[in-house]
Structure 1
Amino acid sequence: MSQQRQARTTPAAPEQHAGTPVETVVGLVNDLLIPTASDDGLVVALADDTGHLRHIGGDRRAQSRIEEIGFAVGENWSQAQKGTNAPGTALLRGSALSVRREEHTRPEVHAFSCSAAPLVHPSTGAILGALDVTGGDAAGDPRCLALVRATAAAAARELSIQMRDASALDASRTPPSLPTLRLVHRGRPCLEAGGTSTPLTTRHTELLTVLATEPGGLTAGEIGALIYPEQTAAATVRVELLRLKRLLESIPGAPQLAGRPYRLTEPLAIDALEVVEHVGRGEYDLALDLYRGESAAAAESDRVSAMLQSASLALREAMLSDANPDTLLRYLELPEVEADPDPWQVALQVLPPRSAQRSVIVAHLETLRSSDIA
């Protein structure tokens, strides 16, 4: 291997943003991708869940070329910031893809092709980051995309294990936080308690939502009326509650289910409600830290649906009326905002005239208008 083709990794410098610690899987990614990337004149990059690049390695000459277009550690390559590009679009869509030359939004990126895949938590479905290979036409080849997808899956598994271990260590050092029902983190609904995250079925999600918001307790009949769209026998509800009781008993630190009436023994926070509370206090960045989009499992009950809608609408109204440019750009990264022209139009109005993001926003609005015409 020539000197120019030797792998060079760039450690991520401390940043002001807070994202998933994807740089902890650099060793695994380097082992699987760097030899091939260096030989083919390509660059390998890891982005965290916010779109910020945390690691770049691969062919030295290729790294120098892409640094000229701002593809460097610490830069934000989310789709909201840079338009269509493989790592940013993979984060937004939650799926692997290739972007070839002129398919990029920004003209300065038209000389490059890239393939990227999201790092998806194997248990919760949460998007942890993105793995990208960038360079010439070889980077957009289907074989490259397949290799990136497989490496991303391996990296996601390793990162999820590291995050679990770190959570367990933190839990042993700090006072336990309030158990929380996660509904707006883009992955499957889950219960966070005792330093662990447990995926939930749709029915268990609905039951916990109702029980968390009714601390005084409810009968089986009352719970059934709130959850099931049609009248359901109380015996059926009791069976579901028994299953939930057994699940909660298996989760360290989780509130338990008591009977007569059915109620939780300890408070259970719900992230969707916390989002609304943060918005009400003008804490928009804290709200966006929690809100990453509604969970994949759609709720059937009116109460859960109303809660999710309240969080989404409260955040949207705040962004349209009171957000600063940086916060609004964060909001534009949400999947549900991609097809909503109003926030993009507001962003165009509030951004400084010389902002580099204006061209991305104009291009996105043109895409939305073209879609409406078609």
Structure 2
Amino acid sequence: MKKPKKLIVIGVVSLSILGAGAFVGINQMEEKNQQEIATIASMNNVSSEKGDLRVTISIGGKVTLIDSEGSNLNDLKLTLKLNEYDISKVQLNQTVEIKAKAFPEDIIKGKIVDISNKSEEGENASYIVTVSIPKRILETGENKYNETNVRKGPTKEYETVAKIEKGKNFEILERKNSWMKIKLEDGTEGWISKDSVALKGINKENEHAKISKSDINLKASNSAGSKNLMKLTQNEDVKIIDKKDKWYKVEVDIETSGWVTENDLIIGDLRDGMAVTATILVSEKKDIVKVPVSSVQKDEKGYYVIVADTNEKKYVDIGITDSEYIEITNGLSEGEKINLSLPINVSGSGK
């Protein structure tokens, strides 16, 4: 009868050991599960940040001559076709960045100068947008007097858009009678009397161009009646060293330089008929609070984010957005941790 008692004691001890092992195993699984939850949660968290935000539209377009029958191959424009959704975002004078596959590192900045009516009716209605392409080589100048008025147009009757001090530098965009259209460093454009301008040369160094056709006369000065120095051939390479209105001073070689007209040159890389990519800058804000778009949600009360530590809703006001980030105008400060999406429902039971 004693032998069975020993078996019972051994069995109880064995079960106790097995139970303790199972308990340790469960604790280890639970600890691992909690670690996984913490890892997932940390991956799901982001901090609001301060930075800049640009909203753009990218679309293909075609470079064409302003005057299809003109002889100046440098007078170019860009034509874009926009759909009904995108056209609502654009307006006159918006900046357009122009890129071509042939020279991807070179970005040319133009401006929207015309927006047409619908060119096609129906579900896929489109609009024609015209973008000006600036001259690559511009004269530069310096203001000679204090408190010079920069006007909206080329007469004193136009309103003043800016005042500039003596010594202020600018680019010269256009000449009209006794007035010059200028562009200031901050992008402001307007007209001043040419009497206020001291010419300072051109805006680019070591800029080369091609002669546009054969038998071009290289002139001794910027005048059609000046002496002919030599004949230039089509596609001959020359270096531009100065500019006065429509005349360019070019260097043929180290010993020879003279003047030709803009019509005699092909300046820059853009050509009539070239396909390019245009990026329209719709809006831009600097040093604003922004968060990933996926972190902002909406209910009947408005837009909100989920606070990472408490998983609670925090309502916010939003501003501009691109495909990645959205501006927070109120309700959130820089550096606050939030969830990218709704909290993940993970429990120890796996349900």
TM-score clears 0.5: no
Larger-gyration structure (1/2): 2
TM-score by length of 2: 0.21
Q: Which fold has the larger relative contact order, with Cα–Cα distance below 8 Å and residues 6 or more apart in sequence?
A: 2
Q: Which has the higher helix share?
A: 1
TM-score by length of 1: 0.20
Q: Which has the higher strand share?
A: 2
